Amino acid sequence: MRKLNEVLRLRFELGLGQRAIARACSISQGAVHNYLKKAAAAGFGWPLPEGWDEKRIEEALFGNRRPIERRPRALPGLPALREQLQKRAVGPRTKLGLLTRTGVAGPAAIGSGATQGWG
């Protein structure tokens, strides 16, 4: 949640600088700068008009923004994913690939404890 009301109060009522406001509100100095720049462009002063809450300040500074609509993503097929992972697991530079290339562990030794200790 944005801390617009607090940023404006600290700036105009207490006269704090941007770094001090950022520390007091636990937000970045860049965010403070952007809030104050937008407030100056909108002609905001202090104290705010009666009945102005965070939501109304945000609408005045940033407009009525709609949330981004996200399309649901299809999950990959599990058999195809398993096949891809198995192909990658026996690459030439993986532990399993090194073991099978050198003959230390064959497919039967995988998971039997023979490859433990490599890591």
pLDDT at 61 over 90: no
Question: CA 27, 28, 34, 37 torsion: positive or negative?
Answer: positive
pTM for this predicted structure: 0.52
Q: How confident is the model at residue 11 (pLDDT cuts 50, 70, 90)?
A: very high
In whole angstroms, give the CA distance from residue 9 to residue 76.
Answer: 50
In three-state form (DSSP H/G/I as H, E/B as E, the rest C), the secondary structure along the chain is CCCHHHHHHHHHCCCCCHHHHHHHHCCCHHHHHHHHHHHHHHCCCCCCCCCCCHHHHHHHHHCCCCCCCCCCCCCCCHHHHHHHHHHHHCCCCCHHHHHHHHCCCCCCCCCCCCCCCCC
pLDDT at 96 over 60: no
